[in-house]
A = this chain, B = another copy of it.
Amino acid sequence: MERKLVVITGYGPGLGEALKHRYQQSGYTVVGVARRGGDYQADTTRAEEVSAVFETIREEHGSPEIVIHNVATLSRGSFNDISAEEFEATWRASTLSAFNVAQTVLPSMERNHKGTLIFTGATASVKGGKGFSPFSSAKFALRGLAQSLAREYQPSGVHIAHVVLDGIIWSDVSLKRFPNLKIENALIPKDIAEAYFQLSQQPRSTWSHEIDLRPYSESF
């Protein structure tokens, strides 16, 4: 019997690893795709690389049943100090990468009338913030894409979901940036992973398109 496949694009330590563990616990095969590291390497901002890496994955593991796109490039600063290149790079990392992954995985999901595609959003996906213009714009763009795909693909049996992570993910990187961060005020990767797992197990009678996840102490 073949095991069901989960692909995590934008795989890395922290949320990526936690997702891998959670799905493996339930018997899934899980492969991570990243620019460096991960099980397979690809720059998801390049359509042809995404297409090629999924081709390889299909040959080795079959078609993925669940795909989680989890690329996050935070960019912040005064609007005046942001170059057009940085604005574009933020969009490529957050939005174009999601487009490329969706284009590659949705056709077979649509044919099978089955599959789940989850995108990771942020506070900035629903509220533009001072000093966050590239990131908010890119994350709004991702949300608009996710909504369009949900309306286009869900009637075919393919679940499209968008998760708004409203808080800081607990990690070494976060601790360097926010030295006073306490774990009780942070989003803990294994808890996020559990929420993603549950989302991907929803029967098609009750699909969530958008859920928010935030620490109890987070103001919003």
Contacts and interface: CB of A to CB of B under 8 A. Distances in A.
Contacts of A216: 154-155, 157, 159, 204-205, 207
A157 B185 CA distance: 12
Nearest to A197: B198
A133 B107 contact: no
Contacts of A214: 206-207, 209
Contact of A205 (B95, B140, B187, B202): B187
B129 A151 contact: yes
A39 interface: no
A131 B91 CA distance: 21
A141 interface: yes
* Main DSSP-derived SS at the A contact region: helix
- Name the residue among A204, A214, A216 with the largest chain B CB count within 10 angstroms: A216
Given A192-B206, A209-B212, A215-B206, A130 B151 contact: yes
A5 interface: no
A147 interface: yes
Interface string A186-220: 11100110110010001111111111111111111
A159 B104 CA distance: 38
Given A128-B143, A133-B145, A148-B129, A191 B215 contact: no
Given A155-B217, A195-B208, A80 B96 contact: no
Contacts of A219: 151, 155
Given A79-B106, A95-B141, A137-B144, 5 more contacts: A47-B84, A84-B99, A128-B150, A138-B144, A206-B213
